[in-house]
Structure 1
Amino acid sequence: MRSVPSIIHLDMDAFFAAVEQASKPSLRGKPVIVGGLGGRGVVSTASYEARKFGVHSAMPMAQARRLCPNAAFLTGRFEAYRANSEIVMSLLRERSPLVEPLSLDEAFVDLEAGPYGPALAAATPAEGAQLVLALAEDLRADIVERTGLTASVGAAASKLMAKIASEQAKPDGLVLIEPGSEKSVLAPMPVRALPGIGPATEQALRRAGLTSVADLAEAGFEELVGLLGKAHGAGVFQMALGWDERPVVPDRDAKSVSVEDTFEVDLADRDRILREIDHLAARCVRRLRAAGRSGRTVVLKVRRFDFSTLTRSETLGGPTDEPEVIAATARRLAMQVDTTGGVRLLGVGVTQLADYTQEDLFAQLEREEKGEADGEGEGEGEDGTEEAEAVPGEPAVRRWWPGQDVTHREFGPGWVQGSGVGRVTVRFETPYSERPGRVRTFAVDDEGLAASGALPLRPPAGAG
């Protein structure tokens, strides 16, 4: 491993919620929760103000509303998130050609491959560490200057430790772990601090009396392999010692996106299984959208009580990132599997990835079939309005999403605070407003009101 902590891990702080606060002066310093607002919606990101109330990502939105009823609940604006992610990633690539994006808001960077590589190679360990700190601070300052957003950065001699360091740095901080100190840094941490140790693995280790990373290191290779299997046990043992020689791999071209959960008690109830599939589909969609991708084939994985594992797949007419479509397809696939003996593991994935979405008749059909066309659907941030189910002989009514960018012929740009009972409330402000904007209410079909694109968080060069 390296003698200089030249691998950094950058993680934007509460990225989706932070973009919303930066875009909307009236929300700065206030709790903001981004996610699906329908009956089965889940939290995508919560601002740090909301996290103080116990709200966290992947939490059911209904629970988040109970914990933090005064928060601003918004659907996602993925156009805005992608635009700001591109700015951040371009700043990273100025530091090195070896940038490994993990999502819109997270990446590894190998500084040795960049312009400062020769200086790092020639430096003593102490000099190298100081140079890395300076480069990381300059990077964080540039991100603030270009976007107004904050980032947490970890620096270390490996990807594992850089990730650990960035977690310690949150929020809006910088932590460097000196090469050679990996084992002592990891020792007091709980086993869940290591990547790849989820709830099921944690329970298996806890039953064996292993609760800290130090316990794992002391247990040794043979015991961990016996508990977790050869591949997983060996990997956990290496991580417990701080060993990680994985290179930073630029522009990874993922072949699929998937999520899965292992349950402590086998699931036997069909309705419960279908609810879990809905949650998995929502998580899968968040990963798809974070990567700026969509997919055409939906895959369901089922491990039954007897450890037999089945997969079923269905290929759609075009790529999608709509949660309604992916969840409904996974549910159909589940109906093809005999689950009467119980289910130990469920997974939902998407393959045949693309950089665009088939806009998207499938999603509208799914909403209509579920009776969600009245506005209670699980829309997660599509820009533009939708039309509610038409009544014969009457014109369709436009539907607006909380957080959506709009513009009014008379009042200019703003965003939707809420809508219902034929009315839509808009706050007219932009990222450049000096104070919170005024609020006005219109009929949902007001001809002067239209959906618009997201404004950049910093005014364009030369703008007044």
Structure 2
Amino acid sequence: MKNSIRERITLHLDMDSFYSSVEVRDRPELEGMPVVVGSDPKGGSGRGVVSTCSYEAREFGLHSGMPISKAYRLCPNAAYLKVNMKLYKQVSSEIMNTIRIFADKFQQVSVDEAYLDIGDSIDDYRSATLLANKIKSEVKRLHGLTCSIGVAPNKVIAKIASDFNKPDGLTVVRPENVQEFLFPLHISKIPGIGKKTQPILKEMGIENVGQLATCDVQLLIAKFGKFGVVMHQLANGIDMREVKEREEVKSVSTEDTFDEDISDPKSIEKAFIDLTEKVHSAMMKKRFRFRTVTIKVRFEDFRTYTRAKTLNTATTDKDAIQRTALTLMEEFTGKGRFRLLGVGVTKLEKIDERQTFLSDFL
């Protein structure tokens, strides 16, 4: 039985060199090459900047935000690609749909980053580590991309941890190891401490997180005002912010890309049973009922279709998802082999907590 005081366990997921990794995934001939996504270098005279670059490019000293002209001088033989934001947003949406299903609370913070609060369903770090590895495996299997995850008691530590062992990293910081993890790090690892703040802290003799954490907070307030308190708290691993959905949840969905294309009815039915189980579990965690069931079908030649059916009334019935999905699938069964199937529910309604309470006694 869990303690009455809920212990927070937070995951921060950060895709590895997201834009360039998507490009390499979709263009295998770029594998192993330095890849730069950003403005046109125009032979070294371009005026834009690097949006992101592959880890091979970083070995030449390239990094995000660098002038594209300098990047070209450092690595003229790299593959320079224009930003394809439509593609990255689409891939991001697919990845976020995959990982949100594992969270009690989910917060996407950028196209390639998200926080997951798992403290309602998991209360020990061994299980949290297993879950993080499962998420990494699913992202790799379903989307062909790697991510790095930090597991920690709160958002700031989880974010720092996710960057600790990139790429394809997993760093777990238990509550009793927070100081051991944070204190040796350079102050630049604390969010908000940038190029303007660092020189002032250095003048105060503060260069690592431990020195910041043990500094007299009144001295920090004198120099930085309220931000001095914030820095001091973050350096001590204190962050009371909760993981919160930034947008209203409009759908819950998941999909599976098979190792081998499938076509026989039994394999199709099993796939929809597994997908339905995941969708229903995520929907119930978020306390929704649904009215519309959708399916996604991708044939071996990459032809992709979606179909949907709206029910007469909103429900939480898992069997209704499965039955409706299989009915929608009848249009496609027998017409080829499938590399991907997906299931989702939309037209969501929040379950009335009073009704839920009463149902426990009926």
TM over 0.5, yes or no?
yes
Match of 2:69 among 62, 68, 75: 62
SS of residue in 1 equivalent to 2:175: coil
User: Quick check: 1:101–1:252 contact (8 Å CA) kept in 2?
Assistant: no
1:109 and 2:116 correspond? yes
**1:34 — aligned with what?**
37
1:94 and 2:101 correspond? yes
User: Quick check: 2:12–2:159 contact (8 Å CA) kept in 1?
Assistant: yes
1:251 and 2:241 correspond? no
User: Quick check: 1:5–1:178 contact (8 Å CA) kept in 2?
Assistant: no
Match of 1:181 among 177, 195, 198: 177
1:140 and 2:143 correspond? no
Residues 382-435 of structure 1, C-alpha deviation per residue, up to 9 Å, x if partnerless? xxxxxxxxxxxxxxxxxxxxxxxxxxxxxxxxxxxxxxxxxxxxxxxx99xxxx
Alpha-carbon distance in structure 1 between the residues aligned to 2:63 and 2:132: 28
Q: How far did 1:184 drift?
A: 2.3
User: Quick check: 2:178–2:237 contact (8 Å CA) kept in 1?
Assistant: yes
Letter in 1 for 2:159: K
User: Quick check: 2:136–2:146 contact (8 Å CA) kept in 1?
Assistant: yes
1:213 and 2:191 correspond? no
**1:79 — aligned with what?**
86
Between Structure 1 and Structure 2, the one with more helix by share is 2
Match of 1:201 among 197, 200, 204: 197
Letter in 1 for 2:25: A
Residues 210-262 of structure 1, C-alpha deviation per residue, up to 9 Å, x if partnerless? 11111112212111111111x10000110111111110011259xxxxxxxxx
**1:461 — aligned with what?**
340
Alpha-carbon distance in structure 2 between the residues aligned to 1:250 and 1:153: 19
Letter in 2 for 1:86: S
**1:241 — aligned with what?**
236
Match of 1:15 among 15, 18, 39: 18
Alpha-carbon distance in structure 1 between the residues aligned to 2:228 and 2:206: 13
Q: How far did 1:83 drift?
A: 1.3
User: Quick check: 2:6–2:119 contact (8 Å CA) kept in 1?
Assistant: no
Q: How far did 1:208 drift?
A: 1.3
Letter in 2 for 1:222: Q
Q: After TM superposition, what 4+ stretches of structure 1 lie above 6 angstroms from structure 2? A: none
Residues 293-312 of structure 1, C-alpha deviation per residue, up to 9 Å, x if partnerless? xxxxxxxxxxxxxxxxxxxx
**1:257 — aligned with what?**
none
**1:372 — aligned with what?**
none
Residues 286-343 of structure 1, C-alpha deviation per residue, up to 9 Å, x if partnerless? xxxxxxxxxxxxxxxxxxxxxxxxxxxxxxxxxxxxxxxxxxxxxxxxxxxxxxxxxx
User: Quick check: 1:4–1:129 contact (8 Å CA) kept in 2?
Assistant: no
Q: TM-score, normalised by structure 2?
A: 0.65
SS of residue in 1 equivalent to 2:134: helix
Match of 2:50 among 37, 43, 46: 43
**1:260 — aligned with what?**
none
Q: How far did 1:163 drift?
A: 0.6
Structure 1 residue ranges without an equivalent (≥5): 122-127, 254-429, 432-458
Aligned residues: 246
SS of residue in 1 equivalent to 2:76: coil
SS of residue in 2 equivalent to 1:16: helix
Letter in 1 for 2:140: V
Letter in 1 for 2:172: L
Q: TM-score, normalised by structure 1?
A: 0.51
Alpha-carbon distance in structure 2 between the residues aligned to 1:55 and 1:5: 37
Q: How far did 1:16 drift?
A: 0.0
Letter in 1 for 2:238: W
Q: How far did 1:169 drift?
A: 2.5
Alpha-carbon distance in structure 2 between the residues aligned to 1:188 and 1:51: 24
Residues 35-73 of structure 1, C-alpha deviation per residue, up to 9 Å, x if partnerless? 011621100001000000000000000000011111000
Q: How far did 1:178 drift?
A: 0.8
SS of residue in 1 equivalent to 2:196: helix
1:25 and 2:20 correspond? no
CA RMSD of aligned residues (A): 2.0
**2:275 — aligned with what?**
none
Alpha-carbon distance in structure 1 between the residues aligned to 2:78 and 2:96: 30
Q: How far did 1:180 drift?
A: 2.4
Distance 1:5 1:30, change over 3 A: farther
Alpha-carbon distance in structure 1 between the residues aligned to 2:185 and 2:110: 25
User: Quick check: 2:19–2:37 contact (8 Å CA) kept in 1?
Assistant: yes
Distance 1:181 1:4, change over 3 A: farther
Q: How far did 1:106 drift?
A: 0.4
